[in-house]
A and B are shown apart, each in its own frame.
Chain A
Amino acid sequence: MKILKYFLCSFLFVSASTFAQNEIKPKRKPGHTNQNKFKQLYDEFATPNMFRTGSGAPGPAYYQQQADYKMDIEIDDVNAKLYGNETITYTNNSPDELKYLWVQLDQNMRAKDSKTPLISGSGVSPATTSARAVKSYLKERFDGGFNIEHVKDVNGKDLAHMINRTMMRVELPAVMKTGDKFSFKIKWWYKINDHVKDGGRSGYEYFEENDNKIYVMAQFYPRMAVYNDTEGWQNSQFWGRDEFALPFGDFDVNITVPADHILDGTGYLVNREDVFTKDMMKRFNQAKKSYDKPVMIVTQAEAEKTEKSKSNKKKTWKLSAQMVRDFGFATSRKFLWDMMAVKIGDKDVMAVSLYSKEGNPLWEQWSTRTVASTLKSYSRMTFDYPYHKAISVHAPMGMEYPMICYNFGRPDKEGKYSDRTKYGMISVIIHEVGHNFFPMIVNSDERQWTWMDEGLNTFVQYVAEQDFGEWNPTALSSIHNAYPSRRGPAKNIVRYMGGNQDFIAPIMTKGLNTYQFGSNAYSKPATGLNMLRETIMGRDLFDYSFREYAHRWMFKHPTPEDFFRTMEDASAIDLDWFWRGWFYTTDYTDIGVKEVKKFAVTANPNDNGKRLADRYNMDPNDLVYFVEEGTEGYDEAMKTAASIDDIPTVKEYIMDNFTPEEQKAMKNAPKYFYQVTFNKPGGLVMPLIVQYEYADGSKEKVTYPAQIWRFNDNEVSRAVASEKEIVSITVDPDLETADVDTSNNSWPKEVKDSDFDKFKNKVKN
Chain B
Amino acid sequence: MYFLKRLLLIVPLLLVISLLAFVLVRVAPGGPFDRERKPASPEIERQLKAHYHLDEPVWKQYLRYLDGLVVHGDFGPSLKYRNHTVNDIIAQGLPVSMCLGMLAFGFAMGVGVPVGYFTAIRRGHWEDYSGSLFAVLMICIPGFVVGPLLVMFFAIKWQLLPVALWASPAHAILPTMALGLYFSGRIARLMREGMLNTLQAEFITTARAKGLSENAVLLKHAFRLAVLPVVSYSGPLLADLLTGSFVIESIFQIPGIGVFFVNSMLNRDHTMIVGLVVLYATLLVLLNLLVDLAYVLLDRRVKYD
Report whether chain A binds chain B. Answer: no
